[in-house]
Amino acid sequence: MGKINQPMTQIKLTNVSLVRMKKGKKRFEIACYQNKVQDWRSKVEKDLDEVLQIPQVFANVSKGQVASNEDMISCFGSTDVDTIILEILDKGEIQLNEKERNANLQQKQNEFLTIISTKCINPKSKKRYPPSMIQKALDQCKFHLSPTRPTKQQALDAIKLLVAQQIIPIARAQMKVKITLLNKIKKQTFDIDIKPLIDSIEEETQNAKMFECIGIIDPVNYREIVEILEKKKNEGSIEVLDMAAKKED
């Protein structure tokens, strides 16, 4: 009895990134190499052959169902596969496989913990906590990272929770800075503009020409102080003395 050839309808999705576009009520897909879609969109990759695994428009890649000419005409107004592929590639939604999703989530988690680690200290030792210890504290707080919300905003929310609950002794890391400026601009630039941005002043000195202040600021105010001083050309400066300072109570 001769061997019966079964049609190859299944496409193995091991290293494939799907890009999907819905037009009307129809779904169209293309099969691309992993990580290459973003390279194409950021113009790092310009060779379409390096992006596409199969130069074909599908209704369903995993089932091997090629899009029909009727559907392409009704939705794209054309049967030109190359043109349709480019539109899907540029505007379609990337369907991450489980491995890619997990890798993206892990990267987001690492970034999230790093932000918290760099912005917080143990107020007693003035040392930063390793990400693993922060993760344990967040687990106790029942704080879970969302894959969709911005990482930085979630990190700031997590810091507020950690500082409020004190599962581990933790505080926002303050910056110790030295601000120096000419006496002639002290009244306006320092007393009115900069002083409200300083949490606590540790030391002030003044001579016939210059005024100097050492103080503790919240890191979010650093950029604003820099911008105030930049407008004064060479009449004032700020120097960071300590990136992990603690404001004395």
pLDDT tens digits for 60-84?
888 888 998 989 888 888 888 989 9
Q: Does the predicted TM-score (pTM) go above 0.75?
A: no
pLDDT at 247: 60
Q: Residue 3 pLDDT more than 50?
A: no
Average confidence (pLDDT) over 110-130: 88
Output the six-digit token pair for 109: 């988690």
Output the six-digit token pair for 112: 């999230």
Q: What domains does the chain contain, in order, with CATH numbers?
A: 16-95 (3.30.1250.10), 98-172 (1.10.10.900), 174-245 (3.30.70.1290)
